[in-house]
Amino acid sequence: MLTMEVAFYCYLGCFLFGLLFALISAVFGGLFDTDFGDGGVDIGDMDANVDVTSDAVSLSPLSPMVICVFLAVFGGTGIICIELFETSILVSLAASTLMGLLVATVFFTGMSWLMNKAQGSMGLSATSILGGEAEVTLAIPRNGLGEISFVANEMRQRASAKSEDGKPIPQSQVVTVVRYTGNFYIVRPTK
């Protein structure tokens, strides 16, 4: 039989573990480490390398941060129910579970919205550069992939590119973006 004292320490353990793990994860980058596909963002010189094929940034409902939020709220609510309202263990368990699920769902929804909003503000529509000019930053070999660089969304962007006619294009050559294949851009030297 579970006593009130044992239940209190179980709730306290959940609360402390959830809170401490969430704080440690946030401090060491777990909260702010976002995968943007093959790219990243260097805020210092405003240079971005964005994978334009990725659909969206996502957060799993079973990510460590969401689980930690659930545990912290579950434990905190359990302690409040037992100590402040002097409820039974079953009532505190039900209230803790419901409150933990509610807050974890709100946290998950809010973080997902923020992550998608952040991606949308720096994201790139694959077709927005079509017909525009770019510079070859990594020479495009014969029938191979290189890299182009261009300005979009007020940020310098980089993406993989291939020559339209299969001929090599040297580094620093200005090119016109002809089309997007879904994985890379097709370019031709600008005359």
Indicate the SS3 state at residue 62: coil
Whose CA is closest to 34, among 121, 157, 137? 121
Q: What is the mean pLDDT of residues 120-133?
A: 69
Rounded to 5 degrees, what angle do the CA atoms 168, 171, 175 make? 75
Three-state DSSP at 142 gives coil
d(CA 12, CA 5): 10
Smallest Cα–Cα separation from 150: which of 139, 137, 141?
137
Mean pLDDT of 161-165: 95
pLDDT digits over 74-119, tens only?
Answer: 999 999 999 999 999 999 999 999 999 999 999 999 988 887 776 6
Q: pLDDT digits over 89-99, tens only? A: 999 999 999 99
What is the reported pTM?
0.55
Q: What is the mean pLDDT of residues 186-191?
A: 92
Helix (H) or strand (E) holding 146: strand 145-152
CATH architecture of 133-189: Beta Barrel (2.40)
Q: Is the pLDDT of residue 59 over 50?
A: yes
- Say yes or no to pLDDT of 2 above 60: yes
pLDDT at 46: 36
Domain ranges of the chain: 4-122, 133-189
Q: Do the bridges between strand 185-189 and strand 155-163 make them parallel or antiparallel, or are there none, so unpaired?
A: parallel
Tokens of 14: 């959940």
Q: Let me know: does 148 contact 124? Beta carbons within 8 Å.
A: no
Q: What is the residue-averaged pLDDT of the chain? A: 82
Q: What is the pLDDT of residues 138-148, one digit of tens each?
A: 999 999 999 99
